Amino acid sequence: MDGILAIHKEVGMTSHDVVFKLRKILKTKKVGHTGTLDPEVSGVLPICIGKATRVSDYVMESGKKYKAEVTIGFSTTTEDQTGELVEQKIVNEHTWSTENIRSTLNKLVGEIEQIPPMYSAVKVNGKKLYEYARQNIEVERPVRKVFINSIELTSEISYVDQICKFEIEVECGKGTYIRTLATQVGELLGFPAHMSHLIRLKSGGFSLDQAVKLDDLREIVEQDKLQNVLLPLEYGLNGLEKITINDEDIVKRIQNGQKIEKHLIDEHKHDGIFVVWYEEKAIAIMDTYEKNSALYKPKKVFL
């Protein structure tokens, strides 16, 4: 039982809850998620099973897409709808036009800096930030650079009870906090803000319409149809460059962990990591050998 499942995590469950339940459903211990989703967030959560756990890091590196609701008018301790009120500022009806909001969102496209929320799992001095937060201890948080591919305004701008709400879709790289992004939108507009709802639409090359809920998966397993939804390990490597080789001797050398002269595999001799394929199967992830730039070395081999 090796492959990747796209699970539709529902609100109220942690990512660890999903892994725990999957181990029971699939009757296997080798199950790992590819990055957490907060309990109040629903959406696609790729899960690696068996040998596919070896590619979980590469699945995590793939881009993500979210649908979020931004609320302008007050901020919270957690930067989302679950936190306590921190600051409030009345928003007057029609304070901003649609173009005002769009131009503000465009300012956050590209590489930006974020400070992780105090209620997050980022570690400072070996301790998770949310552990400090629960003890009311404020610590200096590391500034991180993240990449925002796009932000689209996907709803009307509504004004209710002296607050403003609208929905956005965000495509972004690893490590982006959408709730922090919502507060940054507010900062650019000069108002306190938070993220009031979030769904993850894509992750690791999987979209929400491919994802299976746990209750449905139980039925699929009972009907012995798991292979209909379990995708091969190779699917988790779609974000890496692919080079196909046909030389069986080179394949054997790679599978034995040997270093290979670059010109035997890749005429362009590039320096990034890539996947070597043979007979429509991924056999290894390769990288430049740090002691000799004319050689590639296998980082991971899939026998």
The torsion of the CA quartet 185, 188, 189, 195, rounded to 10 degrees, works out to: 20
How far apart, in whole angstroms, are the C-alpha atoms of residue 294 and residue 99?
52
Spatial CB neighbours of 161, under 8 Å, sequence gap ≥ 6: none
Residue 38 is a catalytic residue:
yes
Q: Which of 38, 215, 247, 271 is catalytic?
A: 38
**DSSP label at residue 225:** -
Beta-bridge mates of residue 33 = 47
55, with CB counted inside 10 A (0-12, 13-18, 19+), is buried
Closest CA to 287 of 271, 276, 302, 301: 271
* Residue 267 DSSP code: T
Secondary structure (DSSP) of 74-117:
EEETTSBTTS-EEEE-PPPTT-S-HHHHHHHHHTT-EEEEE---
DSSP code, position 224: T
Per-residue burial over 169-181, b = 16 or more CB atoms within 10 Å of its CB, e = otherwise = bbbbeeebbbbbb
Dihedral angle sign, alpha carbons of residues 265, 281, 48, 178: positive
Q: Which residue has the tokens 């105090």?
A: 118
d(CA 126, CA 128): 7
Q: Which residues are catalytic?
A: 38
